[in-house]
Structure 1
Amino acid sequence: MQALRKLRMAPAGVSIRVQDDHVVIDNGILQLTLSNPEGLITGVRYNGVDNLLEVLNKEGNRGYWDVVWSEPQGSGIFDVIQGTHFEIIHEDENQVEVSFTRNWDPSLRGKLVPLNIDKRFIMLRGCSGFYTYAIYEHREGWPDFDLAETRVAFKLRKDKFRYMAIADNRQRFMPMPDDRMPDRSQKLAYPEAVLLTNPVNPDIKGEVDDKYQYSSEDKDIKVHGWMSFDPPIGFWQITPSDEFRGGGPIKQDLTSHVGPITLAMFLSAHYSGEDIVPKFRNGEYWKKVFGPVFIYLNSTVDGTDRGLLWDDAKLQVQTLTQVESWPYGFPVSEDFQKRDQRGSVTGRLLVRDKFIDGKDIIGNAAFVGLALPGEVGSWQREFKGYQFWTRADDKGIFTITNVRTGNYNIYAWVPGFIGDYKLDVTITITSGSQINLGDLVYKPPRDGPTLWEIGIPDRSAAEFFIPEPNPIYVNRLYVNHPDRFKQYGLWERYADLYPDSDLIYSVGESDYRKDWFFAHVTRKTKENSYQATTWQIKFRLGSVHQTGAMFRLALASATLSELQVRFNDATVNAPHFTTKLIGRDNSIARHGIHGLYWLFNIDVQNAWLIRGDNTIYLTQTRSASPFHGIMYDYIRMEGPPEQAMH
């Protein structure tokens, strides 16, 4: 670790050289080269290597900010953001901050996204890395548009960066980008997934490469990147805060993948679909700061110990400079609020469910957050504003710090309980405000005692049966791994297990960990088409109350699906309940185990039930694709207190 620290303690000040075509910023530890005036990242010199970025790529395809946008009802346009004006914002021996701006005007209508974009880069004295952030502005009266994606991408040298690390238990030597070429791989069900048939490294022959296998939840995307071993160098993307990302803490997105590529994702439709894509209409004004994110470089004398580089990168996140320093004090832009401009909210969350406990239950480990005012649960589809989330402690106490000024609702959900909490009060954060909300009480949906239940209400299908992958479609990283659901092709295993008939679950006898397939998918036929599937839940009732019962369906994911529910009559034409067509999160194909959360509460009429043996038929009717399907989070049947199961 001494070698790592030695590089960080270099005494040189920060200097900048402005050339006709490039801007070079140097602090004696690394040298950053940016195109002038475009602001594309063309070079990163470090530890004796002239450029860590892919020198075989053109300068515009090494490191860049980009957007995917469209006019309303139009097709997506990929746009690498190229500035038209360069400016030095701050320059002294301790810090250099530069700006590359691209302003929009009506002559660019239909050609460029209608945003003013200001890309910033910062280098600090003695810091082994650099920062980047951007300010997007849509002015009043400008054209309507949709923003499907924005990010920062880095493409590293394939001759050096072979080993990727995302988490302690998600690290591996990766395939080469050449391995994805037609002569070395076989295309699978979608372009992102290939079977490696003749890879450069024969040890990985027969594995699947798919960038979505390396996705993570936003709350866990703090550090990821790549290592070179000759010389031993780490290139890490560190995100100290989720405030500028949308969709809440468990929104999933890409990290690093074959390229070698590392990404700082701010917005995408991955695992959410169109629901999270912000749509700007009627010339509305909008402004948002993305970042700063930190690109951290480290090196060690001993190239045989990969753990040194990874542990040091994690240390940067956990203790040294990044998370504890958030919000950073050094960005010059007034649009990035500093700590003394922000406020905080604290309180305690309790859960009131008399059918579990006569007293209020501590909201232990609850997710509690602030997001733009909206409906209950609207935070998971919201991106235009900022979001601030935390976890309650074992006493239900939560504190949300460093909140930008503005108006918010407070939202929450508690693992172990269905539904969403929202405080029906708009909270206004002003500079320096410290708001104590006291005790907040969440009353989850409940009409009666639990007659039976399937699964765990945690917004994930991970507790259900996840099959072994087809031996010809394996990523060895996920063999005997907690995230075994990230294997490719698991949706096809349903037809292997149920070739002629569908899943039947008997309450009191079946075990959801073994008998409930993790995804309700279509079945592939011998004619290579797909057919809808109907699952059955069998249960007994000792009596049927005149008021019927309540059936609750919590879904962890849905992709172009319609779930129909029928009670005791599989042939009744009109289902007793239908979700109608829902979902575009594509989590089944992308190994996500969850996407957007859906909760349906079905009033069960007493005429639908019978004393004794009952059957609920769950039919997912849409069958044009292997990826049309849903994942269940949790299912519960409730009845009046007099009703009991025998």
Structure 2
Amino acid sequence: MSQGVQLYVEDSHVIMDNGILQVTLSNPDGIVTGVKYNGIDNLLEVLDEEVNRGFWDLVWSEAGSTGTTGTFDVIKGTSFEVVVESEEQVEISFTRLWDPSLQGKLASLNIDKRFIMLRNSPGFYSYAIYDHLREWPPFNLPQTRIVFKLRKDMFHYMAVADNRQRYMPLPDDRLPERGEALATPEAVLLVNPVEPEFKGEVDDKYQYSCEDKDLRVHGWISTDPLVGFWQITPSDEFRSGGPVKQNLTSHVGPYNLAMFLSAHYGGEDFVLKLKPDEPWKKVFGPTFIYLNSASDGKDRLWLWEDAKNQMRIEVENWPYDFPASEDFQSSDQRGTVSGRLQIQDRYLSDECISANCAHVGLAPPGDIGSWQTECKGYQFWTRTDTNGYFCINNIQSGDYNLNAWVPGVVGDYQYNVVITITAGCDIDVGDLVFEPPRDGPTLWEIGIPDRSAAEFYIPDPNPKYINKLFVNHPDRYRQYGLWERYANLYPDGDLVYTVDVSDYRKDWFFAHVTRKINDDTYQATTWQIKFKLHQVDTTGVYKLRLALATAHVSELQVRVNNPEADPPIFSTGVIGHDNTIARHGIHGLYRLYNVGVAGNLLVDDGDNTIFLTQTQSTGPLQGIMYDYIRFEGPPSSSNSIKEIHI
């Protein structure tokens, strides 16, 4: 008969033990100081102080402050409580309560960190309840997460996805005597690593970031003995920013992260900002720390496949039925929404088109597209089938907007009725019709409207700055320093793209960046789109749709047939703090601009040029990435129609 779960409470530590593993936490701090498994006394970094091994943390700042930084706080409990204790389950709580004497010292939150161990389970769970009362001072919360630092003498192989796993450098290789700092503090060129095989590689934790929808399991493998340490997150409902928000995963340390709230790839727009007299409560997690080991004849790939299989089990069991907090809603307290999404675009079809593989989700009420930066509540997303049908299960009770976007279609959809979820409800919203932005027929287009710049030209990296994992890899854009390649490829002038001649996969650089003049000077760049028109309607208004995949401290100005026009016909103003270029992403926040172009600015039966200028040029990492550009004729235009990508 298997051993039941045992709990041992000591003056300075608490130990959970189910015979498979033993987890030790500091009392009353609630810091994970030890994980004993498979005969190994501790999988966590024994060379570090106990407080640096396994912990919840947050970054906070005073209300009214700007930016994404603040006070870093490892969350330490001040009281310990046994919530559940039986042979089947132990759940323990470490709480930290706030009172006015702590104003200015800690974020005004009550925090309850929970840890759970089940019988026969090769792992443990953690979640936390954050609670801010209405009368307490407001504050900003840029980040919160769980961090585990593993033993560097054991865990050398990291796996984030099937095609993103490798042996990793040591943390020592990033030290000044072994590594050379690059343009950002996270990026280090390994010049004298402990193991020579890593010499000349760039290490940067952002190269391993991942979209939330794909961020279900990641971790580390020790090859001697064969042991895996995995973090499994079966739901993104408690993460901010929707399904394509990018977060950190695992990186050199060896670190394993569970990111719940972060400003990465969006900047201050992702900072949770509480207003005066605003109450707020949220449950983050549970996440599952899963351990596995391999017997003779198996290898590290088996450990990864086993971890993925366990991830599927955890997803199937969501929402869990064992957390004891009443703030974590069980399945019978949740509801379901289903329906069908169709697209109506008269320039594509007289009939509605099924929204194939659309992202459909519920997010707290807000403006259209606001789900991208929403971070106070919960979000619930799914994909439609080929006929546009969708079903979203296990939605927590509350009020929501239903939102959608469709790969291949410009713009955001929002259902104009607030949906109220109650326990056990099953709501069918019926057929929903999305009318994407459209004034006239497509005259030409560049790219694919999928909120990413991945289809454009990604250059080979400078041979000095290689991460071997991403050589001949689908995610070529994750290589370091690609922004510098623009000036190499266009040494004498900026990019010129000719409609019906150029190929955006080869001729449209993935990022509209600045040009380096010397070590301290950068120059604004102007790209040109050249095209011919027949039968120009000089009294009509044409429409230029500019969908941006990301922007960082940039201003995009548009001019037509006159590069010196002042003012330009359109300017975004200075936008974005996504930092996507520096962090090797291919998208940040999606932005759509619809620019009217008067027909009398255009040349009939001749050459026309649209000039796109990114004016901000104080550094190398400013710029934008385009998602998709479309030029439409006036509504009455009889020009031939080209289908967009559905």
**Normalised TM-score (structure 2):** 0.97
Counterpart CA distance in 1 for 2:404 and 2:73 is: 36
The correspondence for 2:543, drawn from 547, 550, 556, is 550
Counterpart CA distance in 2 for 1:559 and 1:303 is: 50
The correspondence for 1:30, drawn from 21, 39, 52, is 21
- The C-alpha deviation readout for 1:270-305, integer Å capped at 9, x for no partner, is 001111111101121000000000000000123761
Give the equivalent residue in structure 1 for 2:575: 582
Per-residue deviation at 1:189? 0.3
2:518 match: secondary structure: coil
After superposition, residues 519-538 of structure 1 pair within 5 angstroms as 519-538=511-530
1:448 aligns with 2:440: yes
Counterpart CA distance in 1 for 2:63 and 2:632 is: 44
The correspondence for 2:625, drawn from 607, 628, 631, is 631
Give the equivalent residue in structure 1 for 2:4: 13
1:111 aligns with 2:111: no
1:512 aligns with 2:507: no
After superposition, residues 290-305 of structure 1 pair within 5 angstroms as 290-302=284-296, 305=299
Give the equivalent residue in structure 2 for 1:155: 149
Structure 1 gaps of 5+ residues are 1-9
Give the equivalent residue in structure 2 for 1:233: 227
Q: Is the 8 A contact 2:338 2:390 kept in 1?
A: yes
Query: Quick one: structure 1 residues 398 and 645, their matched pair in 2 at CA, closer, same or farther if it must change by over 3 Å?
Result: closer
The correspondence for 2:405, drawn from 393, 413, 416, is 413
Q: Is the 8 A contact 2:441 2:637 kept in 1?
A: no
- The C-alpha deviation readout for 1:438-477, integer Å capped at 9, x for no partner, is 1000000000100000000000000000000000000000
Counterpart CA distance in 2 for 1:73 and 1:190 is: 27
Counterpart CA distance in 1 for 2:88 and 2:554 is: 56
- The C-alpha deviation readout for 1:418-451, integer Å capped at 9, x for no partner, is 0000001000000000000110000000001000
- The C-alpha deviation readout for 1:380-420, integer Å capped at 9, x for no partner, is 01010100000001111000000000000000000110000
1:525 match: secondary structure: strand
1:370 aligns with 2:365: no
Give the equivalent residue in structure 2 for 1:563: 556
Q: Is the 8 A contact 1:344 1:402 kept in 2?
A: yes
Per-residue deviation at 1:644? 3.2
Per-residue deviation at 1:602? 0.7
Q: Is the 8 A contact 1:541 1:645 kept in 2?
A: no
Give the equivalent residue in structure 1 for 2:165: 171
Per-residue deviation at 1:642? 2.9
After superposition, residues 211-222 of structure 1 pair within 5 angstroms as 211-222=205-216
Q: Is the 8 A contact 1:101 1:119 kept in 2?
A: yes
Q: Is the 8 A contact 1:542 1:645 kept in 2?
A: no
Q: Is the 8 A contact 1:229 1:304 kept in 2?
A: no
Per-residue deviation at 1:645? 7.5
After superposition, residues 43-62 of structure 1 pair within 5 angstroms as 43-62=34-53
The correspondence for 1:428, drawn from 420, 427, 452, is 420
Per-residue deviation at 1:185? 0.8
Per-residue deviation at 1:543? 2.1
Structure 1 letter corresponding to 2:365:
P
Structure 2 letter corresponding to 1:582:
I
2:439 match: secondary structure: coil
Counterpart CA distance in 2 for 1:543 and 1:282 is: 58
Give the equivalent residue in structure 2 for 1:252: 246
Per-residue deviation at 1:528? 3.5
Counterpart CA distance in 2 for 1:510 and 1:550 is: 21
1:71 aligns with 2:62: yes
Give the equivalent residue in structure 1 for 2:372: 380
Give the equivalent residue in structure 2 for 1:474: 466
Structure 2 letter corresponding to 1:592:
G
Structure 1 letter corresponding to 2:255:
I
Structure 1 letter corresponding to 2:53:
R
Counterpart CA distance in 2 for 1:293 and 1:427 is: 28
Deviates more, 1:541-550 or 1:184-193: 541-550
Counterpart CA distance in 1 for 2:135 and 2:9 is: 36
Give the equivalent residue in structure 2 for 1:591: 584
Structure 2 letter corresponding to 1:458:
D
The correspondence for 2:381, drawn from 378, 389, 400, is 389
Give the equivalent residue in structure 2 for 1:622: 616
Structure 2 letter corresponding to 1:253:
N
Structure 2 letter corresponding to 1:578:
S
Q: Is the 8 A contact 1:118 1:134 kept in 2?
A: yes
Counterpart CA distance in 2 for 1:77 and 1:544 is: 58
1:610 aligns with 2:592: no
Q: Is the 8 A contact 1:561 1:630 kept in 2?
A: yes
Query: Quick one: structure 1 residues 500 and 73, their matched pair in 2 at CA, closer, same or farther if it must change by over 3 Å?
Result: farther
1:573 aligns with 2:573: no
Give the equivalent residue in structure 1 for 2:644: none
Structure 2 letter corresponding to 1:157:
R
1:431 match: secondary structure: coil
Q: Is the 8 A contact 1:540 1:645 kept in 2?
A: no
- The C-alpha deviation readout for 1:296-343, integer Å capped at 9, x for no partner, is 00001237611110000000112x3x0000000000000000001100
Identity %: 66
Structure 1 letter corresponding to 2:368:
V
Deviates more, 1:523-532 or 1:225-234: 523-532
1:121 aligns with 2:115: yes
After superposition, residues 189-200 of structure 1 pair within 5 angstroms as 189-200=183-194
1:195 match: secondary structure: strand
- The C-alpha deviation readout for 1:524-557, integer Å capped at 9, x for no partner, is 0135311100000000111221112011000000
The correspondence for 1:642, drawn from 595, 614, 637, is 637
Structure 1 letter corresponding to 2:27:
N
Q: Is the 8 A contact 1:542 1:643 kept in 2?
A: no
Counterpart CA distance in 2 for 1:535 and 1:543 is: 26
Counterpart CA distance in 1 for 2:600 and 2:441 is: 20
Give the equivalent residue in structure 1 for 2:137: 143
2:107 match: secondary structure: coil
Counterpart CA distance in 2 for 1:301 and 1:49 is: 15
Counterpart CA distance in 1 for 2:519 and 2:189 is: 23
1:340 match: secondary structure: helix
Counterpart CA distance in 1 for 2:297 and 2:217 is: 20
- The C-alpha deviation readout for 1:499-534, integer Å capped at 9, x for no partner, is 121000000100000000000000001353111000
**Normalised TM-score (structure 1):** 0.97
Structure 2 letter corresponding to 1:52:
L
Structure 2 letter corresponding to 1:471:
P
The correspondence for 1:84, drawn from 58, 74, 78, is 78
Q: Is the 8 A contact 2:139 2:275 kept in 1?
A: yes
**Cα RMSD (Å):** 1.1
Counterpart CA distance in 2 for 1:491 and 1:304 is: 42
Counterpart CA distance in 2 for 1:527 and 1:296 is: 48
